[in-house]
Amino acid sequence: MSAPFGRRLCRVAGNAAVGPYAMLAVEDSERPPAPGQFYMLAGARGWGGDGGRPYLGRAFSVCRARPGRLEFLVDAIGPGTERLAALEAGEAVWVVGPLGIGFEQPPAGSRAVLVGGGIGIAPLVIWAEALDAPALALLGFRDSGFCPAADLVPGEKLIATDDGSGGAHHGFVTELLEAELQPSDVVYACGPPAMLEAVRRICTGRGVEAQLAMEAGMACGFGACFGCVVATTTGYRRLCVDGPVVRAAELEEIWA
């Protein structure tokens, strides 16, 4: 499905802390997104041109969608995300989307295994709400301070932390995947490149289907700049129009 042409100015409906993340809620009356699709966001004020650094919008997978409302999980790690994370209710934000290709439902009789790393849990929240199949979520965080975000994901879940300070597993979330994966599962994953590469190797090695929501620096969101290409078995693919969800079996090694 095509996104509405151009960007639109939307009102911020709220901003709530979820551990160290910010859940940014935006009022939007355009058609709802498919799980796994993304939006380009830019602040209406202080977004370049006045000595500020950000000029281009920032790409965000939609975390939750409600009638007339979109919610995005923001990690303030740079000038652009810091400004978005600081927005307050009543302020304005430029929005482009929904963009890209989202997740596909698993075949009948399959279990969906959702694997999220850190801020990568965002598109798994909306997907868990839309799934027509039984699901298990495997969620990994740096430490216990980030674990409150796990409550966003409905249903059965297991949590891993790198330092063992929270969750049921001390180590990587991909170690949970190796232990829990069954032949009839379909895996849906989003997270840092090293995690996605481990998911790709585990699933292709066992012959299990996996759909990976990948991240890349995006300037336009419409496939014009070729800044978000990834290598696949059939050549390069632009994540903004040919993704961001890509089947693991179609990917070459994921670059960190």
Q: Which of 184, 171, 59 is nearest to 123 (CA)?
A: 59
Assess whether pLDDT exceeds 60 at residue 2: no
Query: What are the chain's domains?
Result: 8-99 (2.40.30.10), 112-250 (3.40.50.80)
At 20-76, the pLDDT tens digits run 999 999 999 998 999 999 999 999 887 775 555 667 788 999 999 999 999 999 999
CA within 13 Å, CB half, 18: 25
Q: In what helix (H) or strand (E) does residue 123 lie, and over which residues does it extend?
A: helix 122-130
> What does each C-alpha distance from 4 to 8, 67, 75, 190 come to in angstroms?
9, 17, 26, 25
At 176-217, the pLDDT tens digits run 999 999 999 999 999 999 999 999 999 999 999 999 998 877
What is the residue-averaged pLDDT of the chain? 91
φ, ψ at 57 (rounded to 5°) = -65, 165
Cβ pair 159, 194 in contact under 8 A: no
Residue entry with tokens 């696949």: 232
Query: How many Å apart are CA 121 and CA 68, to the nearest integer?
Result: 22
> Which long-range CB contacts under 8 A does 50-57 form with residues at least 24 apart?
52/79, 52/83, 53/79, 53/80, 54/79, 54/80, 54/83, 56/80, 56/219, 57/7, 57/94, 57/96, 57/221
Q: Is 97 left (phi over 0), alpha (psi -120 to 50) or beta?
A: left
> What does each C-alpha distance from 106 to 11, 133, 151, 157 come to in angstroms?
35, 7, 23, 18
Assess whether pLDDT exceeds 80 at residue 128: yes
Q: Tokens representing 23?
A: 């859940």
Residue 238's pLDDT band, with cuts at 50, 70 and 90, is confident
pLDDT at 96: 93
Residue 110 vs residue 57, higher pLDDT: 110
Cβ pair 96, 57 in contact under 8 A: yes
